[in-house]
Amino acid sequence: MSEGEADDAGGMRRPRAAAAVAAAALFAAVAAVLALTTPWNPLPGNVPGGRVRPDPALDFSPAELARSKAFDSAISPPAYTGLVVGLALILVLGLTPLGARLIGRVTARTGHRLLRVIVASAALAALLRVAGLPFDAWRESVLRRYGLSTQTWPSWLLDQVKSLGVAWVISTIALLLLYWVAHRFPRYWWTGAAAGGFLLVVLVSFVYPIAVEPVFNKFHSLPRGQLRSDLLDMARRDGVPVEDVLVADASRRTTSLNAYVSGFGSTRRIVLYDTLLESPPARVESIVAHELGHAKRDDVLYGTLVGALGIAGAMCLLYLLMTSPRLLRRAGVAPTGPPGRAPDDRGGGAADPRSIALVLALVAAGTQIGAPVQNLVSRRIEARADAHALNLTRDPATFVSMQHELSVRNISDLRPDALEYVLWLTHPSGPDRIAMARTWARLHHVPQPPPLR
């Protein structure tokens, strides 16, 4: 290490220590919030006869079980292979000089520093999407084979382009803010990055329903009629302010059933797939009652704030990694620029746009590491919404029939393994939810729904 680098390392010791303390405090706060507020047991109390254990054979025919297993066997290879290839590609680009060299070439004729960030972001986003396209197409072909996709290939490709555009806009805004802060405050940029990351997550969550969802679907209010009146009446009884229930034109892409709640405050909305309207009204009410559970608990706002807190901690950790001379050299970026030159002027440092591949690699790794915890918490929150639906409708039999219909129509995995729970499952499985409904019936001394077979 040269004398100049030694002086720089000494000067970075204090801000790095402060960032480490902030990261530890923020992650500890996230862990405490999740530990104390996650509904680990959405059905508390002693259950007469004990809690019902999930058993797919009670409610699903051998043909339905076989179809679910066959679909899982067909959809898993593109999912796992695409995940591995995508992670491998971004890690190779970020943790070797290849990414810095690629960005150097595509931005060679680009003068302004922030313009280089935009060009580099676009190039990497396009490269990663193109690399994943064969696996996405493979997955789409499986969905078509099993009758879950109604799209034409041109329509599917248009969706891929839209998705790339949305992802690029969001990531570019985030990267522009990050590299501006790193350039403006080279020693303490973690403070601005943490605050900016927090605010950006909240802003995206607020804007997404009104700016992004319409890019992919058209929405209209549920037409006047008995179903609309019953749903709005149920929301009023539940004490949930809902001005409207929207219907998405999902049938132009899929035959699966779904509903969701998104946004918060003035952008909060309950959305039904138009395919769901084919189900009996009582079943639609059951699934809307589940969504009211999310709205009543402000689950979207809760998830946004906890996620924003986690992002703030991640920005502090990112600072520690991006100011590591060893890691920067591994990524092909000089730790600092030569004397008299700004650190971002192609001379090295965390603010050098050539380090964007490293940033994306670290974000991808962190996202994958955090996914199991997010999925676990999500499943518990979804189970609490199921309990809310049962408490509101007091109709476990309809709940069971609705979960059976959802599982069969969506060809859900009826026997997910441990790895699938860790990597993919944000909701309890169909048999888990059916077992919960029977447990709720025992707990509340109402007739337990009999097996559907």
Distances (CA, A) of 378 to 145, 384, 411, 440: 30, 10, 21, 20
Residues 207, 229: Cα–Cα separation, whole Å: 28
Residues 215, 217: Cα–Cα separation, whole Å: 6
Render the burial of 39-60: b for 16+ CB within 10 Å, e for the rest. Answer: beebbeeebeeeebebebebbb
Q: How many CB atoms lie within 10 A of CB 284?
A: 23
Residues 157, 170: Cα–Cα separation, whole Å: 20
Residues 40, 420: Cα–Cα separation, whole Å: 20
All residues at 6 or more sequence positions from 311 whose CB lies less than 8 Å from its CB, including other chains: 197, 198, 200, 201
Q: Would you give the distance in Å from CA 412 to the centre of its chain?
A: 19
Whether the CB-CB separation of 329 and 352 falls below 8 Å is answered with no
404 annotated ligand binder: no
Whether the CB-CB separation of 226 and 284 falls below 8 Å is answered with no
290 annotated ligand binder: yes
233 is annotated as an active-site residue: no
Whether the CB-CB separation of 405 and 283 falls below 8 Å is answered with yes
Please, what sign has the CA dihedral across residues 318, 324, 325, 330?
negative
64 is annotated as an active-site residue: no
Order of strands across the sheet that contains 219-221: 219-221, 245-248, 269-273, 259-262
Whether the CB-CB separation of 358 and 351 falls below 8 Å is answered with no
Of these residues, 213, 386, 395, 413, which one is catalytic?
Answer: 386
Of these residues, 291, 352, 413, 432, which one is catalytic?
Answer: 291
In DSSP terms, 220 is beta-bridged to: 247
444 annotated ligand binder: no
Tokens of 444: 């509340």
Q: Which residue has the tokens 């041109």?
A: 154
All residues at 6 or more sequence positions from 83 whose CB lies less than 8 Å from its CB, including other chains: 423
Q: Active-site residues: which are they?
A: 291, 386
> Binding site for Zn(2+): which residues?
290, 294, 382
For the annotated binding site, the residues are 290, 294, 382
